[in-house]
Structure 1
Amino acid sequence: MTASAAPSAPSTPFRVAAVQTVTGTSLDANLARADALIAEAVRGGAELVLLPEYFCMMGRQETDKVAIREQDGDGPVQRFLADAARRHRVWLVGGTLPLHCGDEGRVYNTSLAFDPRGERVARYDKIHLFGFTRGTESYDESRTILAGTEPVAFEAPCGRVAMSVCYDLRFPELYRHLAAGGGTSLILMPAAFTYTTGQAHWEILLRARAIENQCYVLAAAQGGKHENGRRTWGHTMLVDPWGEVLGVLPEGEGVVAGVIDPARLAEVRQNLPALRHRVL
């Protein structure tokens, strides 16, 4: 479902949770940890759970994700997500997993959303691919990932939910596009920000996206030192439409939870009607 669908008008609070992991190199172990953390979130009352980018694998080489890529519609990770959503009776957004893209050396970095019946309701292929070089630290996702082209949102009980992944956070025009026609209630941000870039920009960008779109932002991060030697920033958090951080987990495995409150959304948008004042 793309952003063209008309948003609903939620009237009751909706509890969400973001999972933080320190994903390793074993697919089976990673899925087991994700399931345990989903269960923890659901025990806390979560109705929607967001997993981080690369929750299923952070390999020793960038090409390791290509080796576990799945065909769209079936595979161990997709079955895990559908089953977990159904078993826990929760809206579940699976961070990202590698899907076939038609290029033998690359994959789509794909985020999938499932409803509480385990039915897939949305697929988003990460559009913006991270590139960074400073000294000995260097990343170029385009070597193993093919960029997506289609912005995606879906409807949940809390209203319109905008999908995005990691480096997308630096491109505000994506979220403006998704907010067209009535606004977004919630932006999802599964990520694996590096320690360097996360320390500098993560919270600032999350709060900016919440403030300028007058919506909640739920960010699920990788957070710690990984088996492959990489260190990620963490700081999984929930930000409200005024830019206030409602909960944060600096590092390590865990869950950050909170409420998407339609009354708070309405209050912020009424007090400061910036969305209605847009010219361009």
Structure 2
Amino acid sequence: MRVALAQVLSGTDPAANLATVREQVGLAAAAGASLVVFPEASMCRFGVPLGPVAEPLDGPWAEGVRAAARSAGVTVVAGMFTPADDGRVRNTLLVVGPDLDTHYDKVHLFDALGFTESRTVAGGDELVVVPVDGVQVGLSTCYDIRFPGMYQQLADRGAEVVVVSASWGAGPDKVAQWELLARARALDCTSYVLACGQADPASLGEEPGSAPTGVGHSVVVSPTGTVLAGAQSDPELLVVDLDLAAVAAARASLPVLANRRW
């Protein structure tokens, strides 16, 4: 399975961000990828009011992503914001591709380190695993990566690959924590982890501000915790081949899922 991680730097204009998605989907498809992963908040970066930006799953931004996926013949995972019933929004991963159209709403909200995501974002309550080219792919978003039980549950539901789309907050040791968590979660669930984050605004000379707008350093991690490919802080497209036989081999030699007592 060939996958692509599109480490982009989203701005505040959804139309401009959609143009970036289209461009990256085209490049990934030309490179032979069947799954193209974008970061959290691909529709619009954090740090601005999200209510006016949010659109339903059949709105123009999502339809634009669908059209890009359909034109390229690939499956696309992209972060957007959808309206919630209580006036807040949902932090949503749109997943569209051949014979696939679904979404995941972020479960664990980032009420930590001085940021209160739950003030403006309503949490989801369902885990999602989807088939992509015969491979079961679990979905997660940013802060979810700090909860190992979620990744083991996704593996229990069949996930061989787990996507985590993020807009990681900057700060002391945060890049190191991001890679450490991606590697730990891969070991926890003996699955590939595709950790795709927003690029670092500072890499292009932009002021990041106080919102979690990305640090870059997207990584692809094997089921045994090895980093197979990694980006730096600036925008980059990672294209990586996954050997799915490695998942079964890891689970046979290191059966942490089978050996769990709780």
Instruction: Name the TM-score, length of structure 1 as normaliser.
Output: 0.86
Deviation at 1:110, TM superposition (A): 0.7
CA RMSD of aligned residues (A): 1.8
Q: Does 1:272 align with 2:254?
A: yes
- Residue in 2 that maps onto 1:97: 80
Q: Residues 84 and 122 of structure 2 are in contact (CA less than 8 Å); yes or no, is this contact kept in structure 1?
A: yes
Q: Deviations over 1:96-155 (max 9, x none)?
A: 211111122x101111211235x41x211101111233xxxx311111100111111112
Query: Which residue among 30, 54, 60 is the counterpart of 1:69?
Result: 54
Q: Residues 19 and 51 of structure 1 are in contact (CA less than 8 Å); yes or no, is this contact kept in structure 2?
A: yes
Deviation at 1:158, TM superposition (A): 4.7
Q: How does 1:1-280 map to 2 (within 5 A)?
A: 14-58=1-45, 60-61=47-48, 63=49, 65-72=50-57, 74-94=58-78, 96-104=79-87, 106-116=88-98, 119-120=100-101, 122-133=102-113, 138-180=114-156, 183-196=158-171, 198-225=174-201, 229-230=208-209, 232-280=214-262
Deviation at 1:229, TM superposition (A): 3.1
Q: Can you give the 5+ residue segments of structure 2 that lack an aligned partner in the other structure?
A: none
Structure 1 Cα separation of the partners of residues 120 and 47 of structure 2: 14
Q: Which has the higher contact order (CA 8 A, sep 6+)?
A: 1
Structure 1 Cα separation of the partners of residues 54 and 125 of structure 2: 19
Q: Residues 60 and 228 of structure 1 are in contact (CA less than 8 Å); yes or no, is this contact kept in structure 2?
A: no
Q: Deviations over 1:218-274 (max 9, x none)?
A: 111111117673352111111011111111111111111212212222222222233
Change (3 A) 1:266 1:69: same
Q: Residues 128 and 167 of structure 1 are in contact (CA less than 8 Å); yes or no, is this contact kept in structure 2?
A: yes
SS at match of 2:33: coil
Deviation at 1:180, TM superposition (A): 1.8
Q: Residues 8 and 235 of structure 2 are in contact (CA less than 8 Å); yes or no, is this contact kept in structure 1?
A: yes
Structure 1 residue ranges (4+ consecutive) displaced by more than 6 angstroms after TM superposition: none
Identity %: 35
| Letter of the 1:79 counterpart | E
Structure 1 Cα separation of the partners of residues 207 and 125 of structure 2: 30
Q: Residues 186 and 222 of structure 2 are in contact (CA less than 8 Å); yes or no, is this contact kept in structure 1?
A: yes
Instruction: Name the TM-score, length of structure 2 as normaliser.
Output: 0.91
SS at match of 2:259: coil
Q: Residues 24 and 228 of structure 1 are in contact (CA less than 8 Å); yes or no, is this contact kept in structure 2?
A: no
Q: Residues 21 and 65 of structure 2 are in contact (CA less than 8 Å); yes or no, is this contact kept in structure 1?
A: no
| Letter of the 1:209 counterpart | R
- Residue in 2 that maps onto 1:3: none
Structure 2 Cα separation of the partners of residues 150 and 69 of structure 1: 20
SS at match of 1:187: strand
SS at match of 2:255: coil
Structure 1 Cα separation of the partners of residues 140 and 11 of structure 2: 23
Structure 2 Cα separation of the partners of residues 59 and 184 of structure 1: 29
